[in-house]
Every structure is written in C-alpha cells, then in structure tokens.
Structure 1
Amino acid sequence: MPHANPSPDDGALLPLDAVREKPAPGGRAPAAKGVPEAAAALPVARVVVDTPLPHLDRLFDYLVPAPMDADAVPGCRVRVRFAGKLVDGFLLERAESSEHEGRLTRLERVVSPEPVLAPEIARLARAVADRYAGTMADVLRLAVPPRHARVEAEERGTAGAGPRTGEDAGTGPEEGPGPWAAYRDGESFLSALARGRSPRAVWTALPGSGEDGPEWAGAVAVAVRETLRGGRGALVVVPDGKDVVLADAALSAVLGPGRHVSLTADLGPAERYRRWLKVSRGEVRVAVGTRAAAFAPVRDLGLAVVWDDGDDLHAERLAPYPHAREVLALRAHQGRTGLLVGGYARTAEATRLVATGWAGPIAATRQTVRDRAPKVRPAGDDAELAKDQAARAARLPSLAWRTLRTGLESGPVLVQVPRRGYLPALACQGCRAPARCGHCRGPLALRSGHAMPYCRWCGRIAGEWRCPACGAARMRARVVGARRTAEELGRAFPSVPVKTSGRDGVLATVGPGRALVVATPGAEPVAEGGYAAAVLLDGWALLGRPDLRVAEEALRRWMNAAALLRSGSELVVLADSSLLPVQALLRWDPVTHAERELADRTELGFPPAVRMATLTGSPAAVREMLGEAELPSGAQVLGPVPVEPSRGDQVRERAMVRVPWGAGPALAASLKGAAGVRSARKADEVVKVCIDPLDAI
C-alpha cells in the first residue's frame, strides 16, 4: 500500500515550528510540554483520510499518543486533523518510523477500537479505486457501513461458528450435488470447492421453478455448502431484494439456521450494521446481499457468486461507479478465491472471461436444455400472421389471447410489460413527435384513463397541449404501461384476479391458483410450482432502444421471465422471429448469442473488447480535463458532444475515450491524474468520470 507523509502543502497538517524541529532517532519527535508521549512501539499510524479530492488520495502518517496505543489497531476508525479540520479516517497500519523529517501531527481520537476495515478489503478498495479512476475514500464509503455505537457495544455471538467440515457442513435433505448433477462439469466444480480450491466459472443456469422457488437459488446454496465443507467462507451478490429473499431461503434450507446473514439496505442502518459486524468478526462465514455486499469482509473467502450480472442494478450509482461483477473478479484475482458468474442469459463481459481462459463454462447438454425449456412461439412469425391478418398491428394478437386463456385453466399466467405506469410516454397523434411540456420540455404521460396529460418533470397539467411541429391537439400512446395493461386484461378476463408487480410494489411470490400477473422486467414474482404460461409484450420497445446492449438486455429480460415457467409450458413473445435475440430465445441458446455479440463488438471496437471512459460536465471543464490528461498511446477521443440535460441542469457535454483492453489501467491512471491536477487547482466544476459505463452508447 503506497503512503505519503503529510506536508504543509497538503492543507497545513503540521505547524511551522513542528516542521522545523528535527525528530529524535527512530522517527519519533520529542514531546512538547503538556503533550502525551507517543506510543512506545509502532508509534506511526498510516491513515486513509476521508476526503474526495483526487490529489490527496494517499496515506498520511500520524503519531499515536501513548493513551491510544491499545485502541489504535489496524482497521479502526479514527479522527484526525486535516487541512485545519477534524475529519474521519481509517487507520490502515502501524509503523516504527516515518520518512517525514518533521514532527507528525497526533491522532485526535480513536472513534472505536473495532477493526472494521480488514486488510484484504483495504487492498480491494485500493484496486477498485485504481480501476475506476476514483479515490479510495469514495470506495470505502461503499464498502464500510456507518458506525452504530450501540450495536458495537452489544454482546458478541460465538466467533468462529461458521466453518464446519464433513457431514456437519449442511442440514438440508440432500448432501449430493443436487441441481449441479444436470450440468457438465458441475460436480467437478463442487468437488474443487470442497477440496479448498478456487475454481472460476461462468454458469448458464437451466430454466425451471419448483415448489421451493427457482432452481438457481438452491444450486448456489449447494455450492456455498461445499465451500464451507472445504473450511472457507462464501459471498453471494444478487441484483435486488427479491432475489435476496430467494437466496436467503435456499441457504437456510441447505445450511440450516444461523449459518449466514443477508445484507440489504431496507434492513435499516442499525440492523444492517449488526449483521455486517457478524461477518467482520467471523461469527458467520456466509453473506448474501445486493451490490454493496461485494465488499463484505467474509473471513477466508473461498467462493464469490454474482447472479444475473447483466442486471444494471449491479452497477453502483455513486462514485467511482464500480460494477459488482468487476469488484468480485478483482477480489478473486487478489486472493485465493473462487468465482461463479451465473445467470439464465450471458453477458458479453462474462463471455470474454471464458474466451480468455480466465474462467471456465458450466452448462447443461442440449438435450437437457430442450427438456427443461418452455415452448417459445413468436407472435410475428409468418404462419401466425397468415392465420391472423391483424396480428401485426394488434398489441395482443389472437395467439397471445389463446395462450392466456389456455394457461389460466391450470394456474397463474405471467404477462411481462416493458414499462411501468399507465401511459408512460405520449406522442402526437399526427406526426408521432414526442409530446413534451410547454414549460420545461419534460415528457407528458397519463396516470389513468380519465386523467389529463401531465408533465413527468414539473407536474403541470397539459390540458390545452398542441404539437409544436404540426399543430395537432391529439395524442397517442408510445408505450402502454403495466397498470394500463392490467386494466385491459381485467376487462377481458373479468372472473380472474389480476395482480401487478413493479416499482410501485414488487410481489415476491404468487400462489398456484388462477391469476393474471402483470409485471415489469425484473419484478416478476415467483409462482408456486411455476407459471402455466407467459406472454412477453411489446418486444419492439425493448429492441428499439438506441443502446449498445439492447439485444443482450432484451434476451436477458425475456429469459429471466421464461425461466419462471413450468417445463414445457407455452410462452409467446411479441417480436419478429427473424431477430437474433428472438432466435436465441426460441433455441434457448444464450451462449451462442453472447459469443456473436462479443465477436461483433470486438470487430467494431466496443466494450468489453476495449476499455472506454466517459467524461461528463460543462463544455469548458470537459475540454480542460482532456487537455490535462496524458492519455495512453492509441487512445481515441470521441466528442465532446452535447448531453440532454436533466431538469434544471445547465448545458453539459460528454466526451468518450477508447483504448485497447490492455491500456485500461493506464487510461484510468491518466484520468485520475488529470482530475487530481484540477482538484489541486481548486477547479469550480467537477467532471464526472465513468470507466466502462453500461450506457456508453
């Protein structure tokens, strides 16, 4: 871990008389009158200070007073004087001496002797900051939850209760490979974990849902059990709280009660910190949670699992915007840790891990896939269009109605809608131009069938709207939302209960009885015993977005919904059967689709074949940043180009920098250096730097 001595240039950490006075031999300065003596052993504390300024992203040396000697342990929280202010920090290590020639400033206070920052997490935070051109302090805010003194003071549990070996490693009814028996190399993967090895694999999960929920959760629990049997801990990262519930139930069934903890934001700060401390103290050796759990300090981590890595919820919204898959890959690379990247579909990034040999594939045979996959039928194929001439224009063609009616005879039916709400977007009836607010230019929408159009940005009612392009006064729906779809289906099937699941309220499960379940992508509840049928609406809305990942994302959303069906059940997708994602869904072959995606992006120079960074800010700030950056050889700068401003924002621009994959570390270092130069100059405007963003194109 690199470190630096504080200097007057770094915010006047030292008084001038202290700088002039030479230290005693060994790096310790004589104590001033009335000041406590320094600690007798290892008197120098190396601290990472909580400051977002890039040019101060390094360790600073402080002196440990003798009264704080016992509490100032590596990993504890401290308060230090920095730039004339008291700020928080983490003590990373103790040293015998400092290279600084002046008197060191003393620690102000040890906030808590609890070692909350483990050495491996500190190394990981440093690696994540370097990969994403961020600061270690920003990463530590994501990695270590805020302190709760009352929780720390509570009586501890039994430390070291986690690892068991032999027959005591699990309490579930099955002690064999369980779901992994259906996969090539599945049992060998489990065997490697049980022997304490560190296999790395990309897992293409089979579809299917039983009485206990989706099979993937049980398979992950079995892999965790074998990791514990090998004497090491495990970590599972999933996209959202619904998946945490599924994984939590599966782990409890396989491992028994009290063997793991779940970490989610909705627990509340105190309870989440309580569970996080159990992991940090070694009281449990298994943790499951959302993206922040990728930094959970699991003792002797043997397996890290990331499920559905293509979900954008795995990408952090706060600087430096790391992705959970990349965090866990760095963690696996740094330590002796196995990695499992799983999902029904497969991302181009995961495919690249296999293509480079860094990870191996785990998949079932084609015959097993055929036996387990649903029967997929596109509503836009030629045979169906010949039977139903209106199918091309209808939102719910006759094939979809027949599928819904037949499925309802034997259980619940799923209807996936790409958008939430009622009419999330409106357009001009005449020229199809987007309908926007005359006051703030925000998009207009409808809340219900009897409501007036309103602006989704400023909330104003647009009762007298006219199209500025053609003058028409009527609007049409660009996309129909989940609530409007549920309303229409309720009228069509009056005797069937209709349930909705989306941002306004996500259902975790539904019963086995007859029901129409209308859900947005990612919010599909698990049906007991699986759905009898499903209809995937508005495929054009998913495939028509101007996004690099549009085909990959559409296939992922479709397969996640289709995997909740019973084996052999019928699924209708409203999309053209000639499109590649639809063909991949028909064959249930996400691997070939991902390999083709990766080949196309390699040929065109798109991520993940290359490394890319975006710089977003005011035009002057972006250009200044590009001028300061010493970009690596072969870097290609695209732009800057204007970015559509959010409500109330000033004019912004975005530049993109593209480099070969191997030059990624140099690109991150150059952008961080440029940000440090601007920070040292106290530039007024901050440029947002994002490495490998999901929405680059």
Structure 2
Amino acid sequence: MARVLVDSPLPQLDRLFDYAVPRELVDSASAGVRVKVPLRTAGRTVEGWIVEIVDEEPSDRPLSDVDEVVSPVPVLPERLYALARRVADRSAGSASGVLKVAVPRRMVRAEKAHLSAGTVPTPRVDDVARAWAYERLSVFPGAEDLLRTGGRGAMSAPPGVEPVTSEGDGAHTPYVGSWAHILAAMAVEGLSRGRSTIIVVPDHRDQDQVEKVLRARLPDEAVVRSDARQSGPARYAAYLRMLAEAPCVVVGNRSAVYAPAAALGAVIIWDDGDPLLAEPLSPGVHARDAALVRQEAEGCALVLAGLTRTTDVERLVSVGWLHEIAPARRVIPKTLLSATREGEGRGQRIPSAAFAAAREALQHGPVLVQVARPGYAPVLVCASCRHPARCAHCAGPLRAVRHGAVPACGWCGRSAPAWTCAECAGTTLRMASSGSERTADELGRAFAGVRIVVADGEHPVTHVDGRPSVVVATRGAEPIAEGGYRAVVLLDAERMLLAEDLRIGESCLRWWSNAAALAAPGAPVHLVGVAGPVARAFATWNQPAYARAELAERAPLRMPPTVRVAALEGDRRAVTEALATVRSDVDRLDDGSILGPVETEGGGVRALVRFDYAVGPAVAQSLRSSLVAAALRSRKPAKGRVRTPGNTLRVRVDVPDLDL
C-alpha cells in the first residue's frame, strides 16, 4: 500500500491518502517518486508523491490503484517531506504548497542525463582551500566550533570589498564583498568534513559573489546553483544533484532553504531583512523561519548573517536562541552625518562637506551616490498649488522621463501634453523629486569631464572599474567598484524615512549600511540630511543596538516581531467564524489580540490575530481547521442554495507588518 500526498491547493486534501499498488508497478512505485492517482470525490486524476510504502492491512473498504508512476527517480526524500510538513503546520498552510516551492518541475531530458551519468563522486577539498577557510574563520572566535557542533548564531559581517583571489595581475581580478569570503569559508570548512552547506541569498547579485569565491576554492561539481533565473532543465538538474549522496554547497535564493542536500552541516541566510527572502506564494513562509524549523528538525548549524541586524534576529539573540558571532576586531567604515551648513540653501541636495569629499575622491577613483528612486523626476506637482499631478485617463502619477520632455503617466504610459491641474486649473508643472537620471544629469554638470554611470532597475550594472567616475545608483542596485569606492554619498535619506512602514527604520539602516560597505578602507561615507536614532546607529556602526531599541519600543504595543501575527481575509462569515474558533481554541488570546474585521476594497473583510510564540502551534492548528471548514462549506452547498464561491477564507501567518 502506498501513502500518497496529492499535489493540490485544497486544504482538505492536505493529508496522506492510501492507494493500492498494482502488481505491474510494484518495482517502480517506491517512496519519494511522482505518481498519478485518482481522486474519487473530484472524478479526475492528479499528481502526487508517494511518501511511504507500507504493508497493506486488511480493510473492508477497497483502495483505488495508483494509476501511473510518472518518474522512477525519488525526488521527495523523507527528510524533505518531514520539513515541508513541519513548515506547513507552523504556518497554517499545506505541505504540497511548501513542496511546490521546494521541488522544481520535472524535465525529462535533464532526468535522463542524470540517470545516465551514474554515481556522483564525493568532492575533495585540497589543503590550500582548507587552510584558507581556517584563516578566514579564525577572526570570528567560536564560529568553527558552532559549525561543527550544529549551533545557532547571528553573525555581524565585516564591511568592505576585496578580490576573489589574491592571485593574478590584480587589474582583472573581480571584486566581491568581504562577507562573501566569510560565507564561502564556512561552506569550505563544512565540505572538508564531508558535510553539505546551504547558502541562501536574496538575489542573483549576491549569489554571483558567493559563487565566484566558492568556484575559486572548490571543484565545480561541489558547487550547485539553484535559483528562479535558471532554465527549467538546469534547475531540475541542479535539484537532482542535491539528491545525490555526495555532499555539496548549494547557493540559491529563498527556495534553496529546502534543498535536499545530503549530510547537511549548515544553513546560512544572508541579509534576512531583504524582502526578497519573504516567499509570496502560499503559505508565505520567510526563508529565515523555514531555516529555523529545519535547524531544529535536522540538527544542522544555522547562521543568520548580515551587515545589519533585523529585529527578528535580535529577538532570537535576546532570548538566547542565537549566539553572537562577532569578529575579534571590529572594522567599521568612516561614516559621517552631513547637514546643510549656515549660509547654504535649504534646498541644496548635497551639502558642501559631502560635495568637497566627492570632488577630492574623484582624483583617486569612483564615487558612489545613492538615491531613493529611479527615473528622471518620479514625482511632478502643480507649480501653483503643489497638488500632485495625475493622469486624466487613469489618475496615475505623472512623471518626467527627461528634462524638457512631455510628462507621461507612470501607470498607463499615456503622455500628458496639455495637462491641467484638477485643483486650481494651473497648467505649469514642477519637479518635486529627483530620480537617478536627473541626479546624474545634475552631477554631470557639477563634475564636468567625469564619467557618469547610472545603475538602477532599467540600467543594471554589477561592477565598475577603478577609474574616476560618479556612480548614481538606487538602493540595492549599487555596483561593486574595483578596490572600493573612494567616497560614498547617501542622498534622499529623509525621503526614505518618511515611508509608511513599520520597519522603515530597519530598511533604511540596511540600505545605507549595504552601500557604505562598498567603500574603500578609510573612504568617507556621508549620510545627508537626517539625524535621530537610525542615523546615530549608522554613524556608530552599531546596528544591533538599534534593533534592541526597536524591540523595546514594540513590546508594550504588541507589534511584530515581539509577537506573531496572522492575517485573515475573505467574506465576513468565514472570517468571523474563524475568529470565533480561534478564541475558543486558544485560552491565552485576549480582546486586544484580535484587530478587526474591517472592510477591504474587494468587498470582503480582513482581520489580524496577534499571539505569543508559545501558543503559535495552537493558533496555527485552529486557523488551519477554519480553512478546511470554509473550503468544505463552499464545496457542498445546502439543498436549494447557490454554490458558494471557493477560497472564501485566506490565512497568512507571520506577516511582518500590521499595515497590510
């Protein structure tokens, strides 16, 4: 008898179903393989995975037969199913939803190539790489012991950039962040002991940096890349390599946290505050949370590393769940808070001190200027009444694509040659903000003859050479400069802090710190126009202290991450019944734990449930039962009544903010 998990989004099907294995499939129907099975209630055939094969017990009810074995390759090892089940239970989701993220689609050609290749040899780490890893980790007391004993740590990574290797002529050696060397050293150390390592990074830029260092120290077959940018066959081939018994180093984006690597020694998460590590697909589990569940289940080491410290990580440090991994000697950038001096215009974007530092630095190499937004003028307003300029067709914001050009709508793309203000009937527009292109225009006039480079979403640039240039980049798009930037100027800081977001202080500190980390040793980093706790934490390079202060302020208000938060959305009946159920199932929920329900734009309602970590399993189980009840009610209408639409209730646990 085969116990099968069907691949279905329906919550009532999130359990194992028993199927009989026909005689002709006995040899191929093993645990972990993909199969097709019939669903009697739906009257159709669906795909699924065999979780286990058990001896058939006598039963009065007949079992349906497995229809087909899709592939003989066991792509769902027991450890991955156990992880998916635990992650789903914690997030009130389904195991098949987690596996949809973890297991790529089958590609026949890649599978045939894998089967014909035979056994994967165990990669070897030479003495040079082993000595390099030991030297790198020696600056972090206790890091090697933590990796060997399966401990949990929060690492404060050092700023700076350096070449991938010290060999070569230097001029053509690519540069990466110093943090990439540290993460790679941990992976090399683990592989030297025959253990796999999973390194999870937010995007392909970080992934490329880590991969370059690893491939310079390890054989190619030891490094496995896994990300959504790969083609289907390449991604499936990488997944099949992870299933092999030979250990490896997996470098990938958020889904790589589920990589079924053999003999797992460590999971490393880089920059967990980046929103790209939050999974948008149901059940919406953050890579950090999945890594915490995996470490507890498998006993591997866990390292949450970053240049800054999120409040989520700081909470785990404060309760003793994570241990500090700090360098024996702190290396901090030369950070300065630049404000407009007396006699300078209030509207001046770059104070004289920062401007002078940039001019001096351009004699030696590149200068980085960080701005908040891409484009030329992302915001236009009426010159008379300062009312935001809107498109007459869709009410979208008007933007200037270049100086003197006809403004265009940022939503529908229509131009507005004869715009008229809806408030005062004015016809003159004014630029209320400067994007990356306008800033580059202004700096090109200020530094005549100097090369200007724009780096943003429309102009992706990953690296610049060491020649004098002004690099204008949006947050997160800053390229790496050969040898580091000779000066860094952070503009629009006040505008960034004005965003309506509970975590905007954390985000700004992360954006600024990541840019400052690209500076050359001793190069000045000017933060323009802001003061207060975030600016002080940046100037002193003490990001954990800011995270501790944020936690202390949020605790009395019961704001995440001091508590967990679940969001319920759907029709009023389903949400109301789910709230009543969770109140009765969990004793430690008071009246202040539930916010809402309130009306939403789609005609439904939304509510939030705040709960302590200790009652998390009970809350998740209760919400899960409400999901199943709502799904079954929509499936079976009462006699004489119209069928209720599906998906009447949606639940997401561990939403990061309350302002959804």
Q: 2:476 aligns with which of 512, 518, 522?
A: 522
Aligned equivalent of 2:610: 658
Partner in structure 2 of residue 288 of structure 1: 251
2:34 aligns with 77
What's the offset of the Cα at 1:297? Answer: 0.7
Contact preservation (8 Å) 2:129, 2:188: no
110, 119, 123: which one pairs with 1:159? 119
Tell me the amino acid that sits aligned with residue 253 of structure 2.
Answer: T
1:291-325 deviations in whole A, cap 9, x for unaligned? 11111111011100000000000001111111111
Please, which of 592, 608, 611 is the counterpart of residue 545 of structure 2?
592
**2:395 counterpart of 1:436:** no
Any conservation in 2 of the 1:189–1:199 contact (CA below 8 Å)? no
Written as runs of structure 1 = structure 2, the 5 A alignment for 1:166-245 is 168=125, 171-172=128-129, 174-175=131-132, 177-183=134-140, 185=141, 188-193=142-147, 196-212=148-164, 213-245=176-208
1:407 and 2:356 are equivalent in the alignment: no
Where does the alignment leave 5 or more consecutive residues of structure 1 unmatched?
A: 1-43
Mapped to 1, the partners of 2:615 and 2:58 lie a distance apart of: 33
Matches within 5 A, 1:596-675: 596-617=549-570, 622-623=575-576, 625-626=578-579, 629-630=582-583, 632-633=586-587, 634-635=589-590, 636-643=593-600, 650-651=602-603, 653-675=605-627
The change in CA–CA distance for 1:642 and 1:457 in structure 2 (over 3 A counts) is farther
Give the superposition deviation at 1:169. 5.2
Which residue does 2:167 correspond to in 1? none
Identity %, equivalent residues: 38
Q: Summarize the Cα distance change of 1:614–1:389 in structure 2 as closer, same or farther, 3 Å threshold.
A: same
> Is the contact between residue 312 and residue 694 of structure 1 (CA under 8 Å) also seen in structure 2?
no
TM-score, normalised via structure 1 length: 0.86
Q: Aligned residue for 1:150?
A: 109
CA offsets 1:192-233 (integer angstroms, 9 cap, x no match): 43xx42021000111111233211111111111111222211
Matched AA of 2:450 = V
1:99, distance to aligned residue in structure 2 (A): 7.8
CA contact (8 A) 1:208 1:214 kept: yes
Separation of aligned partners in 1, 2:58 and 2:309: 50
CA 1:451 to 1:613, structure 2 compared with 1: closer, same or farther past 3 Å?
farther
- 1:49 correspondence with 2:6: yes
Q: Separation in 2 of the partners of 1:56 and 1:345?
A: 41
- Map residues 106-505 of structure 1 onto 2, 5 A cutoff: 106-155=65-114, 156-157=116-117, 159=119, 161-162=121-122, 164=124, 168=125, 171-172=128-129, 174-175=131-132, 177-183=134-140, 185=141, 188-193=142-147, 196-212=148-164, 213-364=176-327, 368-369=329-330, 372-380=331-339, 385-386=341-342, 388-390=343-345, 392-505=346-459
Instruction: Give secondary structure in 2 for the equivalent of 1:258.
Output: helix
Equivalent in the alignment of 2:527: 573
Q: Do 2:509 and 2:534's aligned partners in 1 also have CA atoms closer than 8 Å? A: yes
Distance 1:433 1:127 in 2: 51
- The more displaced of 612-621 and 275-284 is 612-621
Shift in Å at residue 623 of structure 1?
4.4
- Look up the equivalent residue of 1:238 and give its one-letter code: V
CA separation of 1:616 and 1:486: change in aligned 2, threshold 3 A: farther
Tell me, in whole angstroms, the C-alpha distance in 2 between the residues paired with 1:452 and 1:640.
45
Q: Deviations over 1:560-592 (max 9, x none)?
A: 110011121111112323x11110111011111
Mapped to 2, the partners of 1:292 and 1:479 lie a distance apart of 37
Between the two proteins, the alignment pairs up a number of residues equal to 631
Asked whether the equivalents of residues 375 and 436 of structure 2 are also in contact (C-alpha less than 8 Å), the reply is yes
- After superposition, the Cα gap between the structure-2 partners of 1:289 and 1:397, relative to the gap in structure 1 and judged at 3 Å, is same
Residue 500 of structure 1: how far off its partner (Å): 1.9
Asked if 2 retains the 8 angstrom alpha-carbon contact of 1:61 and 1:98, the reply is no
1:95 aligned to which of 33, 38, 54: 54
Contact 2:133 2:186 in 1 (8 A): no
Q: Which residue of 1 aligns with 2:508?
A: 554
> Contact 1:171–1:253 at 8 Å: present in 2 too?
no
**Do the aligned partners of residues 615 and 211 (structure 1) sit closer, same or farther apart at CA in structure 2, a change above 3 Å counting?**
same
The answer as to whether partners of 1:169 and 1:225 remain within 8 angstroms in 2 is no
Helix, strand or coil at the partner of 2:441: helix
1:692 is matched with 654
Question: CA 1:495–1:543 in 2, change beyond 3 Å: closer, same or farther?
Answer: same
Indicate conservation of the 8 Å contact 2:134/2:189, yes or no: no
Between 213-222 and 393-402, report the one with greater CA deviation. 393-402
CA distance in 2, matches of 1:106, 1:197: 46
Indicate the larger mover: 534-543 or 497-506: 497-506
Task: Look up the match of 1:23.
Answer: none
Distance 1:97-1:149 versus aligned 2 partners, 3 A rule: same
Query: 1 CA distance for matches of 2:657 and 2:287?
Result: 16
Amino acid aligned to 1:50: D
Residues 407-455 of structure 1: CA deviation (Å, up to 9, x unaligned): 1111111111121222223334444443333433333322222333332
- Structure 1 distance, partners of 2:536, 2:245, is 48
1:677 pairs with one of 629, 642, 658: 629
Cα deviation digits, residues 128-184 of structure 1 (max 9, x gap) = 1122221111111101000001111115546353465xxx4565384353333333x
Contact 2:146 2:301 (8 Å CA) reproduced:
no
Alignment RMSD: 2.2
Question: Is residue 133–residue 320 contact of structure 1 (8 Å, CA) maintained in 2?
Answer: yes
| Cα shift readout 1:650-694 (whole Å, capped 9, x = no counterpart) | 445432211122222222222222121111112415343222223
Deviations 1:539-559 (A, max 9, x none): 012111111101111001100
Question: Is the 8 Å Cα contact of residues 278 and 284 (structure 1) preserved in structure 2?
Answer: no
Q: Unmatched 5+ residue regions in structure 2? A: 165-175, 635-643
